[in-house]
Structure 1
Amino acid sequence: MRKAIFNLGLFLFSISAIAQAGHILQGVGSVNMSMGGAATGQPLDISGALQWNPASISTFNETILNFDLGIFMSSPTLYSTIPEFDTNGQPTGNIYSGVTNDDRGNSPMPALALVFGKENSRHTFGLSAFGISGFGVTFPESMSNPINMPQNMGGFGRIESDYMLLQIGFTWAYALSDNFSIGIEPTLNFASLELMPNPTANPNQAGYPSTNKVNSTGFGAQIGLFYDSKTGFKAGVSYKSTQSFEDFEFENTYLDNSTGANSFNMDYPAIYSVGLGYSKSDFDLALDYRIVDYENTDGFKKTGWTQTFSVSGFGWKNINILSAGVQYKGINRLPIRFGYTYSDNPIAEDVAFFNIPATAIIKNAFQFGLTYEISQKFELNAMYHHGSSSGKTSGQILNPMFIQNSPPYGAIPGSDVSYDMTTDLVMLGFKYVFNKKSEATSN
């Protein structure tokens, strides 16, 4: 029963949390996504507030339910070039290049959030279930692209990955005064990971194995502070701790039908966020800045080959994320929003090869959204997102047999592997207000 509930939860809430900033989704829900993910200092809706600053839910004086469902579309492309060698291992001067397009298809993207307050209390509570992280590609085996040629011909064959993270948050916020709030959110996480071939396993003479999809659970927390001047200016800061996971335990099957097992640990990185907001008349402005700490996160801080030629980790750098959004409320019952998100690329040139299964890096993303206010209790939300990697992530193809002549990872002279992508997301959702809590607060 526990396993069935676990799998159902992953299917419903994180099947398509495909990476936008590193492997982190830039926002949650229609409203927050359409603001570029900015919400730390400008809580326009409960989903963005619960995701980026637990203290800011104290601004909501009602019991509110949000549900959003989107369709995510991505188009990664994988390129590779390899020099031709003669029977003596010397380059002939000829090169072999090819391109493979992803055939993963479209995926649903849901988000569920609930905030409620107790009458005559400074306390506000929240519950959320968000798919906050993921990556995934499906590059079919190909005789026209060196990297996707069968393993017995020097390639990797079909390259497929599927990582999903569902985070359930239990949030409490306390209004210290009319201006200041604090909030804390313990988090329970469920993740699944599939890799084919599995580079974290030791290869045998037939190559790297395929593996089953495995699950892991993790725990963490988020804490935040929020300030509302009541004159339009707002500010917030938050810290989401590293989400520490159990090891993924893989059961591997090699091309010669032999089997084996290995474990791999991959945590979710700590995130530092600071945000500003300003509301005046018909406009709401939001600006967030984040630092994602990949360099101190298991699964990402290490990279390179082990002594048995498995891959020790992704080797990602810390990244900066800038999110900005504006909401215009001058149209009766129809607020509209525009958002922009910029993210660094965590993948350096020298480790691009190790990150072929996680190509979904979006540098620039643009969003548009709107709300239709049907009544005081019920609203419909919609948004559209388009993102681009704005160029290729590129590096040399690596082989541990070349390490002696090309340290530290064994780059093959004259080779190249690169990838780029675009993403599109269409999302619809609703907000329902059950009842208002008392405007008065007391201890």
Structure 2
Amino acid sequence: MTRHLFSPLLPLLAAAFPLAAHATNGYFSHGYGARSEGVAGVGIALPQDGLAGAANPAGTALLDDRLDVGLDLFRPRRGATIEGNGAGLDGRYDGDGRRLFAIPSIGWVQRLDERWSAGVAVYGNGGMNTSYDRSPYSAFGVTGRSGVNLEQLFVSPSLAWRATPTQTLGVAVNLAYQRFSADGLGPFTAASSSPANVSGRGTDTSTGAGLRLGWLWQPAPEWRLGATWSSRIHGRFDKYRGLFADEGRFYIPANWGLGVAFDPAPGWTLAADYQVIEYSGVGAVANPIERLAAGRPLGSDGGPGFGWRDVKVLKAGIVQRWSPALTLRAGFSRATQAVPASQTFFNVLAPGVVQNHLTAGFSWATGERTEWSAFYAHAFGKTVRGRQSVPAGFGGGEADVRLSEDILGASWTWRF
């Protein structure tokens, strides 16, 4: 019922709130809000701004009344190399037809009374974009560009309750809006259960809803422990039911995490998160390409996907309150690899392979109620080299996929 109530509103919000495609931990963002992104996305036990509910809705209870408005500039460098192919696909391909993406965010928190707090977080949950001006499939007759574009907008109203002086519970409704497009994938139509719905169908959209639950415990003044879980969210792209498994179903995977924050001395905070993103629960993402050889075409029930594994992320960060006006941040995260070496051919379209992020940031109070925050994040370049990756029906050989990223962001805070 929640999905149907809000479905007409999400496209209107998306029209005024530009989406952008980005891939960090698989295709999920590494963090939400400039302060969290400055510590490598840590946030489950370290709520810092109005986007805290995106990581753990229980965290809004630890914040003052506030509004945070942010903008990230995201610069990925993605591409692929194909070698040993008998159909003429060999070459080095640049997927950077579009180079810069803008990712806005809004977070609001309001304390209702001594025990209850409410919040709303609006943010880009994740996405993926490739744009090959010189198509990797030109040997199969593709004359224009090839690529895909996936974007996800979340609107997450949340409520937090201080059950005891040390325990806080929270719940958020994740209202999700997705859009997707694909071009230049004509060579895959022969391997599809619905050849007319593989490529060049324009932008398709999908809406869905799910829950995020959160918990925070402060066993001592200097310690905070947290946990969070988010349900899988249903989605479907009918225009691309010949590309995605299960007739176009493209769910947003369930995910969960644990967090800890510790204040070892006045003005210092150390924090860490462990996150699991369950891509294996989404057939369109997780099913291996080998299912083509087993007689299951693209788009069919249980048909081939991108072969992704679950991603497990360890994040760690440090916060130092240098002065009443200046706070400094730094962090590092490492994720397991989503893309197996045997699945790189299809992932030429979705090379979400980066694993290591290094971040730094700061906040500067410009007045009693206002503050500016900024951060920089670098995802170190990663190449996954194919191993028995290109199916014989496409000429065999190997496909290597690569990705690196830079993110620069800032936010403005108003305290009520």
What range is the shorter-chain TM-score in? 0.7 to 0.9
- What CA distance in whole angstroms lies between the structure 1 residues aligned with 2:98 and 2:13? 21
Q: 2:61 aligns with which of 40, 58, 61?
A: 58
Identify if the C-alpha distance between structure 1 residues 8 and 201 changes in structure 2 by more than 3 Å, giving closer, same or farther: farther
Q: 2:284 aligns with which of 292, 299, 302?
A: 299
Instruction: Tell me the residue number matched to 1:282.
Output: 267
Instruction: Tell me the residue number matched to 1:439.
Output: none
Q: 1:41 aligns with which of 28, 45, 48?
A: 45
Counterpart code for 1:105: R
- What CA distance in whole angstroms lies between the structure 1 residues aligned with 2:369 and 2:104? 21
Residues 78, 100 of structure 1: 8 Å contact kept: yes
Task: Give the CA deviation at 1:344.
Answer: 1.1
Identify if the C-alpha distance between structure 1 residues 164 and 393 changes in structure 2 by more than 3 Å, giving closer, same or farther: farther
Instruction: Tell me the residue number matched to 2:168.
Output: 181
Q: Deviations over 1:126-181 (max 9, x none)?
A: 11111111000101125xxxx342423xx796321110011111101110111001
Question: Identity over the aligned pairs, expressed in percent?
Answer: 18
- What CA distance in whole angstroms lies between the structure 1 residues aligned with 2:36 and 2:401? 28
Q: Superposed, which structure 2 residues align to 1:147-158 within 5 Å? A: 147-152=136-141, 158=145
- What CA distance in whole angstroms lies between the structure 2 residues aligned with 1:54 and 1:209? 38
Task: Give the CA deviation at 1:95.
Answer: 9.9
Q: Deviations over 1:252-302 (max 9, x none)?
A: 99xxxxxxxx94111111111000001230111110001111112242232
Instruction: Tell me the residue number matched to 1:68.
Output: 70
Task: Give the CA deviation at 1:82.
Answer: 2.9
- What CA distance in whole angstroms lies between the structure 2 residues aligned with 1:55 and 1:267? 25
TM-score (norm 1): 0.82
Which structure shows the bigger proportion of residues in strand conformation? Answer: 1
Q: Confirm whether residue 270 of structure 1 aligns to residue 254 of structure 2.
A: yes
Q: Superposed, which structure 2 residues align to 1:283-362 within 5 Å? A: 283-304=268-289, 305-306=291-292, 307=295, 309-310=297-298, 312-362=304-354
- What CA distance in whole angstroms lies between the structure 2 residues aligned with 1:357 and 1:184? 35
Residues 241, 249 of structure 2: 8 Å contact kept: no
- What CA distance in whole angstroms lies between the structure 1 residues aligned with 2:187 and 2:285? 13
Residues 11, 177 of structure 2: 8 Å contact kept: no
Residues 212, 251 of structure 1: 8 Å contact kept: no
Please tell me the root mean square deviation across aligned C-alpha atoms, in Å: 2.8
For residue 299 of structure 1, give the secondary structure of its aligned residue in structure 2: helix
Pairs aligned (count): 397
Task: Give the CA deviation at 1:396.
Answer: 4.0
- What CA distance in whole angstroms lies between the structure 2 residues aligned with 1:76 and 1:3? 33
- What CA distance in whole angstroms lies between the structure 2 residues aligned with 1:167 and 1:348? 29
- What CA distance in whole angstroms lies between the structure 2 residues aligned with 1:6 and 1:118? 26
Task: Give the CA deviation at 1:243.
Answer: 1.4
Instruction: Tell me the residue number matched to 2:84.
Output: 82
- What CA distance in whole angstroms lies between the structure 2 residues aligned with 1:9 and 1:74? 25
- What CA distance in whole angstroms lies between the structure 2 residues aligned with 1:133 and 1:112? 15
Identify if the C-alpha distance between structure 1 residues 127 and 191 changes in structure 2 by more than 3 Å, giving closer, same or farther: same
Moved more, 127-136 or 206-215: 206-215
Identify if the C-alpha distance between structure 1 residues 212 and 331 changes in structure 2 by more than 3 Å, giving closer, same or farther: same
Counterpart code for 1:271: N
- What CA distance in whole angstroms lies between the structure 2 residues aligned with 1:431 and 1:369? 15
Instruction: Tell me the residue number matched to 2:3.
Output: none
* Structure 1 residues without counterparts, runs of 5 or longer: 86-93, 254-261, 403-410, 435-443
* Structure 2 residues without counterparts, runs of 5 or longer: 1-5
Identify if the C-alpha distance between structure 1 residues 331 and 215 changes in structure 2 by more than 3 Å, giving closer, same or farther: same
Q: 1:130 aligns with which of 115, 119, 123?
A: 123
Q: 1:109 aligns with which of 95, 103, 106?
A: 103
Residues 30, 40 of structure 2: 8 Å contact kept: yes
Task: Give the CA deviation at 1:96.
Answer: 4.3
Identify if the C-alpha distance between structure 1 residues 68 and 31 changes in structure 2 by more than 3 Å, giving closer, same or farther: same
Larger Rg: 1
